[in-house]
Structure 1
Amino acid sequence: MTQQSIRRWAWIHKWSSLVCTVFMLLLCLTGLPLIFSHEIHDWLGDHIATPDIQHNGAMASMDSLLATAKKQNPGFVPLYMYRDDDEPLQWTISMAKTTDATSGFKYVVMDARTAKVLGEPPAEEGFMYIVFKLHVDLFAGLPGMLFLGLMGFLLVIAIISGIVLYAPFMRKLAFGEVRHQRGEKLKRLDIHNMLGIVTLSWFLVVGATGVINAWSDLLVKYWQFDQMSQMIAPYKNLPPPTQFASLQQSLEVAQKAEPAMQLGFIAFPGTAYTSQHHYGIFMRGDSPLTKRLFKPVLIDAQNATLTDSRPLPWYLVALLVSQPLHFGDYGGMSLKWIWAVLDVLSIIVLWTGLKLWWKKRRQYLPVTSARPILHKAIS
């Protein structure tokens, strides 16, 4: 590699790193508690446990669960219905004043056996909510998500340029060598490079999946335009329904259409994952991989008949696969600790890189430029 090429790559690495470093530090710091979000919610007392009761009968119908949620929050409409893999005997229904609301959400957790309300976990408040919003969109909605996606893209560029520069830099050094005797500056540089190459693969995966996740809202909108519009074409000019068919019957129709799959979640009419005329019943597999890949089944919300069912397109599959990779929540507690250690090492890489730039920048500041500030400070 020529000196000119090295200087070009060094310039790319320097500025792509500098622009995104502060925001990457924020994402790493907020991402650390998000790795252990379930455990922190338990510790904070937000977790709602399933009561230990004897129940030998059938599970409560979906209609009774829905009726209970509506009674609990009159004036609210249901948005989504889902359950946590850790609590198979619970169903949660998210609700809001309107189906297109961006705030004011409520969550009703119910016993799947008895349809009794177990509690309403806090929504849009608390430490973990603040951490989550900072990590996802900086409290700025879609513009914030896209901005963080851009920062993630710059991180990927910084990593690639760092790889290109690493080989010639380490040509005369052993792998992982830290020159303790050559001064603080070289020591910090060697630590930065060593930890950077150690966390390379992880940082690249997390950065790339973060970029994909930042586009999630736009990917869903494109899916609505591309696939959903085809599925609901016969309903295009029809008015929204005023009466709705049985949710339980609609679920049974979906299960009959996809007998080898199980229920993942339900999107109620008017929400982003369905139309105003349909229950969006999203089925999934039961293996560690397929349980994260959904297949939408659209059921006519007026007469509980099947309208359409088709696999998700590749871009939504990529989004669904990227989410567990980003947070490391697919391999149990052991993987979470690995993700946490790599996250901390990445914070050190970012911090040492920022300090290296700051030290170098101060070396090149003109002496005269500091005099007015110093004079003003002591006068």
Structure 2
Amino acid sequence: MRTTTLRRWAWIHKWSSLVCTVFMLLLCLTGLPLIFHHEIGHLLGTEIEAPEMARDAPRASLDRVLEVAVARHPGKQGMFVSQEPDDDRIWYVTLSDTPRADTGLKQVAVDARTAEALGEPSLDSGFIHLMYQLHVDLFAGLPGTLFLGAMGVLLLVAILSGVVLYGPFMRKLDFGTVRRQSSPRTRWLDLHNLLGIVTLVWALVVGLTGVINTLADPIIDLWRFDEVADMTAPYQGLPPPERLASLQRSVDAALAVEPGMAVRFIAFPGTTFSSPHHYGVFLRGDRPLTSRLVKPVLVDARTTQVTDSRDLPWYVTGLLVSQPLHFGDYGGMPMQILWAVLDIATIAVLGSGLYLWLRRRRTADDTVEIMAGAEARQ
């Protein structure tokens, strides 16, 4: 490769890395506890635990579950009802003052078998909440999310430019060589290159899925204005129902048209994932991959009749696949540990890159001072 071309790639790698390094370090540091958020919740005592019962214990009606949750916060209304993909023993009922509220939300965990309230997870406080907000939007909302997405793009540029430079750099060295007898800066450079190439695929996957996740709001809005608008076109101009029909019957109707699936979450009328006239019942599969994918079923909130059901478009499916992949949430504890090890290795790559730049600047400054002193003595 020509020297001029290499210098251009080196310039791209240096500045794309420098601009995003501090923010990527923040994302790696905050992402590490998020990989183990359930386990940390158990240790801190903030995770809601369901009592042990027979696997075939009868299920409580969702109407009763909702009633129990609302009784804890009179005056609020149902917004979402959800379950974890790997635990169907608890319903998490999110309550709000209005369907589109983003403040004053309350969540009640209700036993899916006995309809007893088990507790109220905190939605806006605690260690995991702090880490999550820093990781997702820097407490700056959508502008913060999009800013981190831009930093993610720079990370991808830095990774790809580093790959271009790695080949010529290692031409005279064996793969994985760390020149231990050389200067500290050379050893750090070799370690930086080694860890960078080892974590290459993981960093690309996590970086790309992270960028996709920052576009979640625009992607969901596009789906709503495109697919959902088409699915609810016959209801345009009609007044919303004054009284909502049975939640349980609505869910039963959705499951009847999609047998073999389970409920992932339910959106009440007027929320982001439904229309003013429908319950949005989002169903999932029962396998590791399909449990993260959902299929929306719209149920008339007045009659409990299914009005439409269709697969999600490719761009929403891509978002749903990228979210658990970003946090290593597909393969249980082994994958979580692997993700954590690679996360720590990436922190080392970012830190060593920053050290190399600062060390080079110091060396350059020392050289200037030495030359200036020599000129003064002449």
- Asked if these proteins are the same fold (TM beyond 0.5), I'd say yes
Question: By how many angstroms is 1:260 displaced?
Answer: 3.0
Contact 2:85 2:291 in 1 (8 A): no
**SS at 1:312's partner residue?**
coil
Residue type of the alignment partner of 2:114: T
Q: Note closer, same or farther for the CA distance 1:351–1:57 as it changes in structure 2 (3 Å cut).
A: closer
Corresponding residue of 1:287: 287
Question: By how many angstroms is 1:85 displaced?
Answer: 3.6
Corresponding residue of 2:376: none
Residue type of the alignment partner of 1:162: G
Corresponding residue of 2:168: 168
Mapped to 1, the partners of 2:94 and 2:361 lie a distance apart of: 51
Corresponding residue of 1:32: 32
Question: By how many angstroms is 1:43 displaced?
Answer: 0.3
- The correspondence of residues 176-325 of structure 1 with structure 2, limited to 5 A, is 176-325=176-325
Mapped to 1, the partners of 2:292 and 2:332 lie a distance apart of: 15
Q: Indicate yes or no: 2:131 matched with 1:131.
A: yes
Question: By how many angstroms is 1:10 displaced?
Answer: 0.6
Question: By how many angstroms is 1:176 displaced?
Answer: 0.7
Corresponding residue of 1:376: none
**SS at 1:43's partner residue?**
helix
Q: Note closer, same or farther for the CA distance 1:222–1:56 as it changes in structure 2 (3 Å cut).
A: closer
Question: By how many angstroms is 1:87 displaced?
Answer: 3.2
Residue type of the alignment partner of 1:119: G
Give deviations 1:22-56, integer Å, cap 9, x for gaps: 00000000000001100000000012221235797
Most deviating of 166-175 and 356-365: 356-365
Question: By how many angstroms is 1:58 displaced?
Answer: 3.1
Corresponding residue of 2:73: 73
Contact 2:289 2:330 in 1 (8 A): no
Mapped to 1, the partners of 2:283 and 2:84 lie a distance apart of: 15
Contact 1:35 1:336 in 2 (8 A): yes
Mapped to 2, the partners of 1:24 and 1:111 lie a distance apart of: 39
Corresponding residue of 2:11: 11
Q: TM-score, normalised by structure 1?
A: 0.94
**SS at 2:88's partner residue?**
coil
Mapped to 2, the partners of 1:203 and 1:277 lie a distance apart of: 43
Mapped to 2, the partners of 1:239 and 1:59 lie a distance apart of: 34
**SS at 1:307's partner residue?**
strand
Give deviations 1:241-273, integer Å, cap 9, x for gaps: 211111111111111111132222111111111
Contact 2:85 2:264 in 1 (8 A): no
Question: By how many angstroms is 1:177 displaced?
Answer: 0.5
Mapped to 2, the partners of 1:36 and 1:204 lie a distance apart of: 21
**SS at 1:291's partner residue?**
helix
**SS at 1:182's partner residue?**
coil
Q: Note closer, same or farther for the CA distance 1:116–1:5 as it changes in structure 2 (3 Å cut).
A: same
Q: Note closer, same or farther for the CA distance 1:63–1:165 as it changes in structure 2 (3 Å cut).
A: same
Mapped to 2, the partners of 1:57 and 1:177 lie a distance apart of: 59
- Number of residue-to-residue matches in the alignment: 370
Gaps of 5+ in 1: 372-379
Contact 1:55 1:113 in 2 (8 A): no
**SS at 2:40's partner residue?**
helix
Residue type of the alignment partner of 2:148: L
Question: By how many angstroms is 1:207 displaced?
Answer: 0.3
Most deviating of 339-348 and 263-272: 263-272
Give deviations 1:81-102, integer Å, cap 9, x for gaps: 1112443221111112222122
Give deviations 1:2-37, integer Å, cap 9, x for gaps: 001101111111111111000000000000000110
Q: Note closer, same or farther for the CA distance 1:171–1:57 as it changes in structure 2 (3 Å cut).
A: closer
Residue type of the alignment partner of 1:270: G
Mapped to 2, the partners of 1:289 and 1:87 lie a distance apart of: 15
Give deviations 1:177-225, integer Å, cap 9, x for gaps: 0111121111111110010001111011000000000000110001011
Q: Where do 4+ consecutive residues of structure 1 move more than 6 Å?
A: 54-57
Residue type of the alignment partner of 1:298: L
Corresponding residue of 1:61: 61
**SS at 1:240's partner residue?**
coil
Corresponding residue of 1:44: 44
Q: Indicate yes or no: 2:148 matched with 1:145.
A: no
Residue type of the alignment partner of 1:20: C
- Give the share of equivalent positions with the same residue, in percent: 56
Question: By how many angstroms is 1:147 displaced?
Answer: 0.6
Contact 1:50 1:87 in 2 (8 A): no
**SS at 1:10's partner residue?**
helix
Q: Note closer, same or farther for the CA distance 1:339–1:56 as it changes in structure 2 (3 Å cut).
A: closer
Q: Note closer, same or farther for the CA distance 1:55–1:134 as it changes in structure 2 (3 Å cut).
A: closer
Residue type of the alignment partner of 1:18: L
Contact 2:82 2:265 in 1 (8 A): yes
